[in-house]
Amino acid sequence: MKIVIAPNAFKNSLSAMAVAAALQEGIRLSGYTGALVCCPVGDGGDGTGSLLAQYLGASVITTKVKDPLGRIIEAPLGWVKETATAVIELADASGLRLLKPVEYDPLLAHTAGCGRLIKAALNKGARELLLCIGGSATVDGGTGILKELGLRFYDAQGMALQQLPRDLAKLHTIDTSGFDQRLRQVKITILCDVNNHLLGAKGAAAVFGPQKGATAKEVALLEAGLQQLRQVVLQHTGRDIDILQSGGAAGGVAAGLSAFCEVAIVKGIDYFLKKINFGQELEGADWVITGEGSIDYQTLDGKAPFGVAAMAKQKGIPVIGVAGKVPEAANPELQAYFQWLLSINEQPMAIEEAIRQTQPNLVKAGLKIGTALQNK
């Protein structure tokens, strides 16, 4: 028997690699001695960039950048010399994990640090940028990145906007004369794990603002700023950045970059699996195990476990989904892709405790899976 373990990260707890290692440990504890392939995956969410860089054999280059609140930190980018490809994890420079909860401030948090990483890649002679944008602390429409790359944002009086995104609703003119022309020679691929558009009830401000600390009043201010950005971009470029699928990802970074660069916005898990040649890993597999923190109906929108399960289904391989939380009632749509959904938490507990217990509970889940598969 051959088992392929291909989980995503468990958010706020373990990396995809650590999840795969814990499941592997549990399966081996069951006495299973057959083939076992660990193939951790990412879908564009936080952690995808570092994982992708490892698969591609990238070296790591550290650069001084500004964190979401403007403090100087060091952030890595992956560099594949042979293809002049830079792998950039937005969260390494502009991520929510860089802030303490009391510091969350989406009216001031910006993506300038990620822009600095892109500039560092251009300075290295990058011909391709792979940008993984999950886990951002920002709702700035990508204006922090664009400012680092040479754009200037002005109000109706011709004064430069000082605080983005707080002042974005005052935007009147965008000066593109200083924009870094090297971007026109670079292929940019943005890996996303959400489908949200820029504006509206399911847009960047309404959905992601509260996750990044925004009150209802602040969500309204952020929405107004993004609406103004869309309007001014439309006047300047003729591009409507609100029609883009996934344009609202990372607080509108995907939409903002699309306004001034030629980018491909892709479903992160599909791109990732193709890039690492996951289909080859599945050859001869009898079972596939995947998972992340929660598996529910939203998983079917293109999250990592669904991407893995869909590819396995094409090859007729049964899939086990492992998560901290799974639906209590049977879900026919999920059952079409997952033969077994297993919660690693055997009894109800507070989320903080569940996060603390993730690693040992994954080992226990692996033991349970290994025992069950050997008894089939």
69-83, 177-191, 244-258, 337-351: least confident range: 337-351
> 180 with 210, same domain?
yes
Residue span of the structural domain in which 349 resides: 2-37+277-374
Which ranges of the chain would DSSP assign to H, the alpha helix? Answer: 16-29, 48-55, 90-94, 112-123, 143-148, 216-237, 249-260, 268-275, 278-281, 304-314, 332-335, 351-356, 358-374
> 187 with 211, same domain?
yes
> 256 with 285, same domain?
no
The per-residue pLDDT for 306 is: 96
**Residue 43, in any domain of the structure:** no
- The rounded mean pLDDT for the chain is 96
The per-residue pLDDT for 287 is: 98
The per-residue pLDDT for 354 is: 86
State the average pLDDT over residues 212-238: 97
- On whether the CB atoms of residues 144 and 138 are closer than 8 A, the answer is yes
The per-residue pLDDT for 298 is: 86
Helix/strand/coil percentages in the chain, nearest 5: 40, 20, 40
Instruction: Identify residue 37 by its one-letter amino acid code.
Output: V
The residue with tokens 């691929």 is: 189
The per-residue pLDDT for 157 is: 97
**Residue 42, in any domain of the structure:** no
> 209 with 282, same domain?
no
Q: Model's pTM, two decimal places?
A: 0.94
Phi/psi of residue 36, each to 5°?
-140, 115
Domain final position from 238, 269, 300: 269
353, pLDDT greater than 90:
no
Q: How far is 5 from 21, CA to CA, in rounded Å?
A: 9
Give me the number of domains the chain comprises: 2
- CATH code of residue 162: 3.90.1510.10
**Residue 321, in any domain of the structure:** yes
Domain final position from 223, 245, 269: 269
- In the numeric block, which tokens belong to residue 63? 């650069």
> 138 with 234, same domain?
yes
351, pLDDT greater than 90:
no
Q: Residue 62 CB: number of other CB atoms within 10 A?
A: 13
**Residue 66, in any domain of the structure:** yes
State the average pLDDT over residues 164-186: 96
89, β-bridge pairs? 132
Which pLDDT band, with edges at 50, 70 and 90, does 297 fall under?
confident
> 221 with 307, same domain?
no
> 98 with 192, same domain?
yes
Q: What residues contact residue 349 under an 8 Å CB cut-off, 6+ apart?
A: 357
Domain final position from 248, 269, 290: 269
State the average pLDDT over residues 332-349: 91
376, pLDDT greater than 80:
no
**Residue 161, in any domain of the structure:** yes
The residue with tokens 């699996």 is: 273
Which pLDDT band, with edges at 50, 70 and 90, does 349 fall under?
confident
